[in-house]
Amino acid sequence: MKINISNLSEGVHEYEFEENPSSIELDERFSRPVVAKVGIEKRRRQLFLTGHIKTFGKFVCDRCLDNFEKEIEVDYRMTYVYDMEDAGEIDRGEITVIHTSTNEINIAEDVREYILLSVPLKLLCKDDCAGLCSTCGANLNQGACGCPKEDIDPRWEKLKKIINKN
């Protein structure tokens, strides 16, 4: 995912990359190609990069433990400058300083990081996943399990015993 910038004219340039996930060091959860569409606007002392990344990952649902595939899609921006004085008011997290003799920009590490940061902390096969029964462990997405639904708060258990004696 390298972009040659040595003879790049001023203006907007478009690139599209399709890489194998292992070539950008993504783990085995990612088996489909990573597609990155990148636009670079070159100015005299700055390069403004906008990227759109798309891939798919295979995950395990945190509620029902089923395997599922989820699309990971993210946009990102990066500004390349030759000197921090050229950065102006740009967010420091979106700036990379490069040397004036730099011939190419490798975006593979940025793509990998943005993909990994886009994986949700809570992985759900679907938003309304019912999860597993806490009594028998049945997957509640596939139907009711037949366990009694009377959940007794353990703090009230002694009171229930008193009521049942009368």
66-91: pLDDT as tens digits: 999 999 999 999 988 887 665 566 66
Q: Quick one: which of 53, 46, 72 has its CA closest to 15?
A: 53
Give the whole-angstrom CA distance, residue 37 versus residue 80: 17
Cα within 13 Å of Cα(99), Cβ side: 3
Q: Quick one: which of 103, 15, 10 has its CA closest to 53?
A: 15
Q: Quick one: which of 72, 63, 54 has its CA closest to 125?
A: 63
7-50: pLDDT as tens digits: 888 889 999 999 999 999 999 999 899 999 999 998 888 889 99
Residue 36 contacts residue 1 (beta carbons within 8 Å) = yes
> How does the average pLDDT of the chain come out, rounded?
87
- The phi and psi torsions of 108 (rounded to 5 degrees) equal -60, -45
Going from N- to C-terminal start, the domains of the chain cover 2-129, 130-166
- What percent of the chain stands above pLDDT 70? 92
Residue 95 has pLDDT above 90, yes or no: no
pLDDT of residue 118: 95
Residue 89 contacts residue 55 (beta carbons within 8 Å) = no
